[in-house]
């Protein structure tokens, strides 16, 4: 009788324990010890409503703005639909001018020289998006990376244009001046007086109108903070937390603010020359950031059509994937040789 009664008690404990696990649904419980006999029961895994993966509908990436200052350059794209070489004729010298001459006037035949500029070809690396990864996605992956591929080419073209427009060294019709403000982080800040110096130098060298100065973000804010006029304009703006202007004009120079400090132009103070493209700032070794000056009708930008090379997954039997990339013919350069009518302001030490 005692043996039968003990078995009944054990069954009651097991049923009670099982009921408790079902009611409470304890997620972290992997076993349950019932009674003094140490009976172990395995618990079934339970998923709570909060244990769900949330997939946002947009792809996130580091933000990079595509600059618009290049729109100030003369657009000659209509002449290079098929990617031709541009040829710029340069006029010969002025004729001599005589005053009160009483003898026959001699003659001279004008001779033009030409400056050729061949478009570069930019190719983006191909994206390969396999079909196996395209199911049940909340975003249009193929369309997104198509746009990203084309934009990568445009950003590289703008970086190359900035480097091309900046003079290699100081020289004839090429102006290079230092900043003269107070020292911040080892280099001198830009002041409005430096813009005056640049404008005076442009006048003395007979630079044409359409002058544009492109500053790094640091140089822009140095100019604002060291200029009572600009600071006053900011103080009189509505207190809505917004500082809108990214282009101002002083002394005949249109001044642009580029995003961040990615303009990519460095000046070698010791060598008195522009550092190679891609050189990083190194104040200790006299490599400092610089801003560029160009004249609208002395530079150009020209691009052909943006060509897309595309293979659909239905024809890609081996990869089972979409494959695509872009190619673009583009050039931004001077319309005359020797980088004439260009300028640069570097942040002096």
Task: Decide if 326 contacts 153 (C-beta within 8 A).
Answer: yes
DSSP-derived pairing of the beta strands 342-346 and 174-178: parallel
Q: Are residues 207 and 306 in the same domain?
A: yes
Domain presence at residue 15: yes
Domain presence at residue 214: yes
pLDDT confidence band for 175 (50 / 70 / 90): very high
Domain presence at residue 59: no
Residue pLDDT, tens place only, 138-160: 778 888 899 999 999 999 999 99
Mean pLDDT, the chain, integer: 82
pLDDT confidence band for 24 (50 / 70 / 90): very low
Domain presence at residue 307: yes
Q: Are residues 217 and 318 in the same domain?
A: yes
Entry field: residues in the chain: 349
Q: Are residues 127 and 270 in the same domain?
A: yes
Q: CA-CA distance, 174 to 298, in Å (whole number)?
A: 12
Domain count, the chain: 2
Task: Decide if 27 contacts 119 (C-beta within 8 A).
Answer: no
Best CA proximity match to 328, nearest among 134, 80, 107: 80
In this prediction, residue 104 carries a pLDDT of 95
Domain presence at residue 262: yes
What contacts 127, CB < 8 A, 6 or more positions away? 145, 146, 149, 322, 323, 324, 325
Q: CA-CA distance, 290 to 268, in Å (whole number)?
A: 10
Residue pLDDT, tens place only, 32-90: 344 444 544 455 555 556 556 666 677 777 766 677 899 999 999 988 866 678 888 88
Best CA proximity match to 189, nearest among 198, 180, 177, 176: 180
Q: Which two tokens stand for residue 1?
A: 């009788």
Q: Which domain holds residue 104?
A: 69-346
Q: Are residues 111 and 38 in the same domain?
A: no
What contacts 298, CB < 8 A, 6 or more positions away? 208, 210, 334, 335, 336, 340, 341, 342
Q: Are residues 35 and 73 in the same domain?
A: no
Q: Are residues 183 and 259 in the same domain?
A: yes
In this prediction, residue 83 carries a pLDDT of 63
How many percent of the chain have pLDDT more than 70? 76
Q: Are residues 279 and 197 in the same domain?
A: yes
What contacts 118, CB < 8 A, 6 or more positions away? 85, 86, 331
Residue pLDDT, tens place only, 209-231: 999 999 998 999 899 888 776 66
Q: CA-CA distance, 63 to 338, in Å (whole number)?
A: 36
Q: Are residues 221 and 292 in the same domain?
A: yes
Domain presence at residue 64: no
Alpha-helical runs (H) found in 107-252:
141-165, 192-204, 217-225, 228-236
In this prediction, residue 264 carries a pLDDT of 87
How far lies 106's CA from each of 69, 91, 99, 101, in Å?
A: 48, 20, 13, 11
Q: CA-CA distance, 55 to 61, in Å (whole number)?
A: 15
What 8-state DSSP symbol labels residue 317? T
Tell me the DSSP string of 255-269: EEE-STT----EEET
Residue pLDDT, tens place only, 244-294: 557 788 899 999 988 767 788 999 999 999 999 999 999 999 999 999 999
Q: Are residues 90 and 15 in the same domain?
A: no
């Amino acid at each position: 009788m005692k043996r039968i009664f003990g078995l009944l008690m054990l069954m009651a404990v097991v049923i009670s324990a099982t009921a408790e696990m079902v009611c409470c649904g304890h997620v972290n419980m992997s076993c349950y010890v019932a009674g003094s006999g140490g009976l172990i029961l395995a618990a079934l895994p339970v998923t709570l409503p909060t244990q769900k993966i949330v997939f946002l509908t947009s792809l996130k990436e580091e933000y990079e703005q595509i600059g618009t200052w290049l729109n100030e350059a003369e657009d000659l794209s209509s002449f290079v639909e098929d990617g031709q070489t541009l040829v710029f004729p340069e006029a010969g010298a002025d004729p001599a001018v005589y005053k009160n001459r009483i003898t026959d006037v001699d003659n001279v035949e004008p001779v033009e020289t030409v400056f050729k500029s061949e478009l570069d070809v930019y190719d983006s690396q191909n994206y390969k998006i396999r079909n196996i990864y395209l199911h049940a996605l909340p975003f249009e992956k193929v369309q997104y990376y198509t746009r990203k591929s084309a934009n990568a080419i445009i950003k590289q073209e703008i970086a190359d244009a900035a480097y091309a427009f900046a003079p290699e060294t100081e020289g004839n019709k090429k102006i290079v001046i230092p900043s003269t403000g107070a020292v911040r982080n080892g280099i001198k800040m830009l002041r409005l007086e430096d813009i005056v110096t640049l404008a005076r130098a442009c006048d003395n060298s007979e630079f044409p109108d359409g002058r544009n100065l492109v500053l790094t973000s640091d140089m822009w804010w140095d100019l604002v903070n060291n200029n009572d006029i600009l600071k006053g304009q900011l103080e009189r703006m509505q207190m809505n937390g917004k500082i809108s202007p990214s282009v101002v004009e002083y002394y005949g120079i249109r001044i642009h603010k580029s995003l961040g400090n990615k303009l990519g132009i460095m000046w070698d103070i010791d060598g008195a020359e522009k550092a190679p493209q891609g050189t990083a700032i190194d104040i200790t070794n006299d490599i400092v950031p610089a801003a560029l000056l160009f004249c609208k009708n002395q530079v150009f930008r020209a691009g052909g059509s943006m060509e897309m090379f595309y293979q659909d997954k239905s024809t890609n039997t081996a990869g089972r994937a979409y494959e695509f990339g872009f190619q673009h013919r583009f050039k931004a350069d001077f319309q005359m040789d020797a980088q004439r009518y260009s300028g640069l302001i570097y942040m002096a030490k």
